[in-house]
Structure formats: structure tokens, C-alpha cells
Amino acid sequence: MEHYKTRSVDHPQRQQPRRPAPAARPVGGVPAQGGGGRPRPAPARRLPRPRLTGLGGGLFACVAMALAAGITWLLFDGSLFAYGLLFLPVAAATALWVRPADLITAPISAPIAFATGVWPISGGSGGFGAELMGIVSALSLHAGWLYGGTLVSALIVVVRKAVLISRRRLPRRTA
């Protein structure tokens, strides 16, 4: 079987000139050479900005809430109040860290993560029916935390989407 070349022999591949690597920034804003120049400002430290997919955001929230349930069980004897308090930052972090293309998944995954984590501390004992009734009771009695975290997540998503839309429209107005 023959393999056809995509380039002709008459036009050899052009090589672009190599650019020198950027110089490393000095620590603390002090010039590396000591050459009398003005010191450069140190780069500002920012929080990490992970970009989770929709599935990754849901998995992050579920794992974080399972860990929150474990912490609540160990430190606060399974207090659903403490669990609800831990749910709010997890819902906010999920909404902040999900990719812009998957923003809609953050408010959907928040209640799923709440239900996932509430199972170990729900207080059901016995068989399957008792466990299920414990989960349903915990979800209904602490629906305020569930709605609050979902609302926080939804508000963050709406604000992020509005900012994305305004950034897309801004260049069109100035042009």
C-alpha cells in the first residue's frame, strides 16, 4: 500500500526561529542582576482555579460531602447542623470551580451531594427500610440547608454566566 506525502519536495518545511525562554522572575521583587534597575513587583498570589467538568464537579461535591459527613460524625457526633454548615462552602466551591461550559451542572449536583453525604449520619438503624427512612427524615428536616446550598450554587452560576455573557458582548460594542 502506498503512502502519499502531503508536502511537495520543492517546498521544504519552514522552521520558525526559536524564541529564547523567558527569564525567571526574581523572588520578592528584587532584580536578579543587581543592575540598578527598578525592582519588579512580585506576582500576586491567586487561589487555584481548577476547571472541573460537570461530572468532575458532581464527583468533587459528593466526595467532599462524604468527607464532611465523616468529619461531622467524628467531631460533632453526627450533627446535621454542622453538616449543613459544611455543605454551603462545598456547594459554593463546586459552582466556582466548574467549567463555564458545564455551569448548569453545579446546582444540580449540590442536592445530590447533600443526599450522598447525609446517609452515614442520618441516624437510621436496622434494615434497608430503616436506613431509607433515616435519609428521608434527615432530608426533610434539614431541607433549609439543602435549599440554601443549592441557592448559593445557583446564584454563583447565574453571576458567572452573566459575567461570561458581558465579556462576550463587550468587544462588539467597542468595535
72-125 pLDDT, tens per residue?
Answer: 999 988 888 999 999 999 999 999 999 998 999 999 999 999 999 998 888 767
* Rounded Cα–Cα distance for residues 97 and 62 (Å): 14
What number of other Cβ atoms are within 10 A of residue 161's Cβ? 13
Question: Cα 123–58–96 angle (5° rounding)?
Answer: 115
The pLDDT assigned to 22 comes to 58
**Taking the complete model, does pTM exceed 0.75, yes or no?**
no
Length of the chain in terms of residues written: 175
* Rounded Cα–Cα distance for residues 59 and 121 (Å): 19
pLDDT band at 5 (very low <50, low <70, confident <90, very high): low
**104 SS3 class:** coil
**52 SS3 class:** strand
**11 SS3 class:** coil
* Rounded Cα–Cα distance for residues 122 and 115 (Å): 10
Average pLDDT over every residue of 21-46: 58
Would the pLDDT of 127 be above 80? yes
β-bridge mates for residue 52, sequence order = 98
- CB-CB contact of 123 with 138 (8 Å): yes
139 Cβ partners below 8 Å, 6+ apart? 114, 115, 118, 146
E strands in 3-76: none
pLDDT band at 129 (very low <50, low <70, confident <90, very high): confident
pLDDT band at 29 (very low <50, low <70, confident <90, very high): low
pLDDT band at 19 (very low <50, low <70, confident <90, very high): low
